Structure formats: structure tokens, C-alpha cells
């Protein structure tokens, strides 16, 4: 099984500042046949289902603000929020859907400092 490890577990950032969340997979999630990393990022606000933010490691989902960006390839990935807004308070998860079981990271709780 591919183990997904996020860091940090929690993060407090001032409004307007940058937030960075890291995700590491125990095996590569890059499909060589199509050069896509099967790595997604989700945002979950309290009482809500997860919301897809980023897929293929760096492709922003339609309607997601451009302050959210994803980067990385292979086993190391990063979600960056360039200028934190109050509505970004949530738990963020990375997930690999490269191979079953489609494992999630443990989550990173993002708060306002």
C-alpha cells in the first residue's frame, strides 16, 4: 500500500500570508504512460464533504481561486495558498488515486494566526 504523509499536522498563518502544506508518498504516483501524477488535494470545511481543489498534482479544479496551487512530482508534493483568506480555514488532505487502496494523508488543519 502507498502511505501518504502530510506535514505539518496543523498550521497557523496570518491573513494575507502564504500557507504551505507538504505531502509525501511512499511510492511514486506518476504514471509513465501519460506523465500524470495521480495526486489530488482536497479541502474540507467543518460539517462539509471534501472538495476537490487540485488534481494531477498541479491542475486547479474549475472555480477554485488561483491563490491555490499545487506542485511536485513522483513522491513529493506541495499545496500552496499564496495569500490566506478567512474562508480558507479548513482541513486539507492529499490523496493518491494511482493504485488501490487509494490512500489519504492524515490531514493538515489550517487556522488563522
Partner 1 sequence: EVQLVETGGGLIQPGGSLRLSCAASGFTVSSNYMSWVRQAPGKGLEWVSVIYSGGSTFYADSVKGRFTISRDNSKNTLYLHMNSLRAEDTAVYYCARDRLVGSLRGGFDPWGQGTLVTVSS
Binding stretches for partner 1 (CB under 8 A): 1, 34, 36, 38, 40, 42, 44, 49-52, 54-56, 59, 61, 91, 93, 95, 97, 100-107
Given the complex with partner 1, which of 26 and 83 has the nearer CB atom? 26
Given the complex with partner 1, which of 52 and 74 has the nearer CB atom? 52
How far is 66 from 103, CA to CA, in rounded Å? Answer: 26
Beta carbon of residue 1, minimum distance to partner 1 (angstroms, whole number)? 8
Beta carbon of residue 97, minimum distance to partner 1 (angstroms, whole number)? 6
Given the complex with partner 1, which of 16 and 101 has the nearer CB atom? 101
Given the complex with partner 1, which of 10 and 14 has the nearer CB atom? 10
Q: With DSSP H G I counted as helix, E B as strand and the rest as coil, what are the percentages for the chain, rounded to 5?
A: 5, 50, 45
Q: How far is CA 55 from CA 12, 33, 38, in A?
A: 25, 17, 7
Beta carbon of residue 9, minimum distance to partner 1 (angstroms, whole number)? 10
Q: What are phi and psi of 86, to 5 degrees?
A: -60, -35
CB 101 within 8 A of CB 112: no
How far is 45 from 31, CA to CA, in rounded Å? Answer: 31
Beta carbon of residue 17, minimum distance to partner 1 (angstroms, whole number)? 25
Amino acid at each position: 500500500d502507498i502511505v501518504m504523509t502530510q506535514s505539518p499536522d496543523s498550521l497557523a498563518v496570518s491573513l494575507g500570508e502564504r500557507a504551505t502544506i507538504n505531502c509525501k508518498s511512499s511510492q511514486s504516483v506518476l504514471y509513465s504512460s501519460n506523465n500524470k501524477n495521480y495526486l489530488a488535494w482536497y479541502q474540507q470545511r467543518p460539517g462539509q464533504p471534501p472538495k476537490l481543489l487540485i488534481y494531477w498534482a498541479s491542475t486547479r479544479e474549475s472555480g477554485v481561486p488561483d491563490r491555490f496551487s499545487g506542485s511536485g512530482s513522483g513522491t513529493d508534493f506541495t499545496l500552496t495558498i499564496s495569500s490566506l483568506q478567512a474562508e480558507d480555514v479548513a482541513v486539507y488532505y492529499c490523496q493518491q488515486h494511482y493504485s488501490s487502496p487509494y490512500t489519504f494523508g492524515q490531514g493538515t488543519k489550517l487556522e488563522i494566526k
